[in-house]
C-alpha cells in the first residue's frame, strides 16, 4: 500500500511571555522585544497534527479522524487552551514558549499516544510565522 499523510487542524488560545530567566530585562527586551513584557500576551494558535502510514485496505483509512481529534484534545489541547503557557502547563515548565519549543514539546506530548504514525506537528503562532517539528528524522 502507498504511504499517505493525513492532517487535522486544531485551534486554541493561550498566553505566554518570552523571557530567559538567566538574562536581565535589557537582554530579554533586546532579544524578544515586546514579547518579553512581564504580563505576557496571547495568541490564537493553529496546530496541525499529521500522521503518516499505509492505508488500511479494510476501511480505506490511515487513521480514524474522530479518534485523532479525541487523542489530541485529551493529551494536548485540553492542557493548553486558555492557559498561560509559562505558568499553568506542567509539561512546559522551564521551557521558553517560543513557537519552535512549543512545536517540539507538543510533538513529545503526542508521540506516545500516536506511536508509529505521528509524522509532524505544525504550530502557527500567527498567520505569518509557524514552526514545524517532525521528531528525530
The yes-or-no answer on residue 35 being catalytic is: yes
| Tens-place pLDDT, residues 97-132 | 999 999 999 999 999 999 999 999 999 999 999 999
How much is the pLDDT for 20?
A: 97
- The count of other CB atoms within 10 Å of the CB of residue 87 is 12
Q: Which of 90, 125, 127, 137 is the catalytic position?
A: 125
Work out the number of other CB atoms within 10 angstroms of the CB of residue 89.
Answer: 19
What separation in angstroms does the CA of 74 have from each of 24, 70, 77, 83? 37, 6, 7, 15
Domain CATH code at residue 44: 3.30.479.10
Rg of the chain, C-alpha, whole Å: 17
125 included as an active-site residue: yes
Q: Kindly write down the DSSP assignment for every residue of 4-27, as one continuous string.
A: EEEEEEEEEEEEE----TTS-HHH
Structurally, the chain folds into a number of domains equal to 1
CA distance between the termini of the chain: 22
Mean pLDDT, contiguous 10-residue spans, the chain (137 residues) = 93 98 97 95 97 95 97 98 98 98 98 97 96 90
Exactly one of 35, 46, 84, 111 is catalytic; name it.
Answer: 35
Enter the pTM of the model.
0.96
* Residue of 26, 82, 108, 137 marked catalytic: 82
Per-position DSSP letters for 94-115, written without gaps between them: T----HHHHHHHHHHHHHTTST
Which domain, by its residues, includes 54?
3-133
Amino acid at each position: 500500500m502507498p504511504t499517505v499523510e493525513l492532517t487535522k487542524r486544531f485551534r486554541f488560545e493561550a498566553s505566554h511571555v518570552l523571557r530567559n530567566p538567566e538574562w536581565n530585562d535589557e537582554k530579554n527586551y533586546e532579544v524578544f522585544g515586546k514579547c518579553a513584557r512581564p504580563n505576557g500576551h496571547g495568541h490564537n494558535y493553529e496546530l496541525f497534527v499529521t500522521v503518516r502510514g499505509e492505508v488500511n485496505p479494510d476501511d480505506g483509512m490511515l487513521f480514524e479522524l474522530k479518534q485523532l481529534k479525541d487523542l489530541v484534545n485529551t493529551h494536548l489541547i485540553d492542557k493548553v487552551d486558555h492557559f498561560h503557557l509559562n505558568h499553568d502547563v506542567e509539561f512546559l515548565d522551564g521551557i521558553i514558549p517560543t513557537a519552535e519549543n512549543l512545536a517540539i514539546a507538543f510533538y513529545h506530548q503526542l508521540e506516545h499516544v500516536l506511536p508509529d504514525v505521528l509524522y509532524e506537528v505544525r504550530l502557527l503562532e500567527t498567520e505569518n510565522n509557524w514552526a514545524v517539528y517532525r521528531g528525530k528524522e
